[in-house]
Amino acid sequence: MRRGNFKVRILIGLAIVAFAFIRRCSQQETNPYTGRTQAISLSPEQEIAIGLQSAPGMAQQHGGLHPNNQYQALVDQVGNKLVNHSLAKNTPYKYEFHLLADENTINAFALPGGQIFITYALFSQLQNEDQLAGVLGHEIGHVLGKHSNERITDSKYWQTLVMGAGAIDMGSVAQQIGNGTLLKNGRDDELESDELGVIFMMDAGYNPEEMIGVMEILKAAAGPNRAPEMQSTHPDPENRIEKIREAIAKHKKAS
């Protein structure tokens, strides 16, 4: 009887895994903005809805919006210039740029659909408008790269695999594999967004070399005890600087 139950569990597990694989194959599509093939499960309208729904809570986590209207106007000006002079303009996304009041956390991030945030802690360390363009261009890259969409799709895929592997007591192993894969993809996302940011800066007339200055700020903020690259979702700043220089050289030749 036990052997029969085990066979049933194996068949159920294999069926779930097969379903996850077939669904993932059906979700493959070429990103029209990057040319990269991705597994995508959300439409642009769904991405926009998720971003708008999540934006107030994200702002609240960082002390709300910064009260200085002049600073916010600068963020809007630079962000909109990047969008209006790049391929980001002709997309379904609705871009909004938010300066957060957080004076302690050096960070910037994007939600699906075009909600983009930068903390005052990072904003206050930037030395010029070009560096601000580097930060915002990078975040626009995350939106056009559909990185959140891809992570959500990956997460659903691995959750289904874990469910199937759990039927034959292999759930913890599958979960570890899934976590490692998601981590690797996260670093690739950052490098892709850096290159897109370089392109957006050049298209809008900003100096892409200033993005290297942003990396120096992030490097200093991380300190000498920053985690090794393999333990982080972000590439090491030194690696990013090298890749940014390569992207600048490549796209200057192309132009």
Q: How far apart (Å, rounded) are the C-alpha atoms in residues 105 and 102?
A: 6
- Give the domain range for residue 62: 2-254
Q: Tell me: the pLDDT tens digits for 163-181?
A: 544 544 444 433 443 444 4
Q: How far apart (Å, rounded) are the C-alpha atoms in residues 167 and 185?
A: 27
Cα 209 to Cα 36, 103, 171, distances in angstroms = 25, 26, 46
Q: How far apart (Å, rounded) are the C-alpha atoms in residues 67 and 182?
A: 36
Tell how strand 96-100 and strand 115-119 pair up.
parallel
Which residue has tokens 């210039």? 81
pLDDT of residue 39: 74
Q: Tell me: the pLDDT tens digits for 118-146?
A: 999 999 999 999 999 999 999 999 999 99
pLDDT of residue 166: 52
pLDDT in tens, the chain (255 residues): 455 565 666 666 556 556 555 655 655 788 888 888 887 878 899 889 989 999 999 999 999 999 999 999 999 999 999 999 998 898 999 999 999 999 999 999 999 999 999 999 999 999 999 999 999 999 999 999 998 888 876 666 556 555 544 544 444 433 443 444 444 447 788 999 999 999 999 999 999 999 999 999 988 887 655 444 333 456 777 889 999 999 999 998 776
Q: With contact defined as beta carbons under 8 Å apart, do 113 and 143 qualify?
A: yes
pLDDT of residue 225: 52
Q: How far apart (Å, rounded) are the C-alpha atoms in residues 65 and 78?
A: 17
Q: How far apart (Å, rounded) are the C-alpha atoms in residues 87 and 93?
A: 11
pLDDT of residue 224: 58
Which pair of structure tokens corresponds to residue 42? 């959300």
Q: With contact defined as beta carbons under 8 Å apart, do 143 and 83 qualify?
A: no
Domain count, the chain: 1
pLDDT of residue 152: 78
What lies within 8 Å, CB to CB, of 18 at 6+ separation is: none
